[in-house]
Amino acid sequence: MQIADRCVAYFHYTLTNSAGEVIDSSEGRDPLPYLHGKGNIVPGLEKQLVGKKVGDKLNVVVSPEEGYGAHNPSLIQKVPKAAFQGVDNLEAGMQFQAESNMGPVSVVITAINGDEVTVDGNHPLAGETLHFAVEITEVREASVEEVLHGHVHGAGGHHH
Ligand code: ZN
């Protein structure tokens, strides 16, 4: 069976950046399942998996535009510490949900200088070219319920 719309595919992967550093990997874990055609994984990877079958191994290079988006400097902002009322011990690396005109976004504190806090709303992998090494381990037909929900049920997927 080949990967196409309405298929659930399971794959092992190692994700590295352009410097060759491993960012994420399924090594030591179960393969990752996704429902094809529903945007469960980044578009640049999804489109390269069309027609693949169990046992296929491939290397896929995904541009930022087809990955987690370009790095957007306007999403880096300086805000006063007073904006974090009620939060003790502010430090770099802390994540918060912030309201934006595009809905809630996740921001991370990247620097604190005196009363000034720098927050970055970019995805951590924004602007990165993604290098995936992928091995397909299972392909099956999606259930009607999975297609309706737009995600995988069962092992490695949603439980509800
Ligand atoms: Zn569901």
Summarize pLDDT for 8-38 with one digit per residue, the tens: 999 999 999 999 999 999 999 999 999 999 9
Domain enclosing residue 27, as ranges: 7-68+125-149
Answer yes or no: do 16 and 91 share one domain: no
Q: What is the CA(146)–ligand 1 centre distance, in A?
A: 6
Q: What is the CA(160)–ligand 1 centre distance, in A?
A: 6
Look at residue 99 and tell me whether its pLDDT is greater than 90. no
Residue 90 falls inside a structural domain: yes
Answer yes or no: do 80 and 60 share one domain: no
Specify the number of domains making up the chain.
2
Residue 155 falls inside a structural domain: no
Q: What is the CA(144)–ligand 1 centre distance, in A?
A: 10
Residue 132 falls inside a structural domain: yes
pTM: 0.81
3-class DSSP string for the chain: CCCCCCEEEEEEEEEECCCCCEEEECCCCCCEEEECCCCCCCHHHHHHCCCCCCCCEEEEEECHHHCCCCCCHHHEEEEEHHHHCCCCCCCCCCEEEEEEECEEEEEEEEEEECCEEEEECCCCCCCCCEEEEEEEEEEEECCHHHHHHCCCECCCCECC
Task: Look up the CATH number of the domain holding residue 12.
Answer: 3.10.50.40
pLDDT, tens only, 64-89: 999 999 999 999 999 999 988 888 88
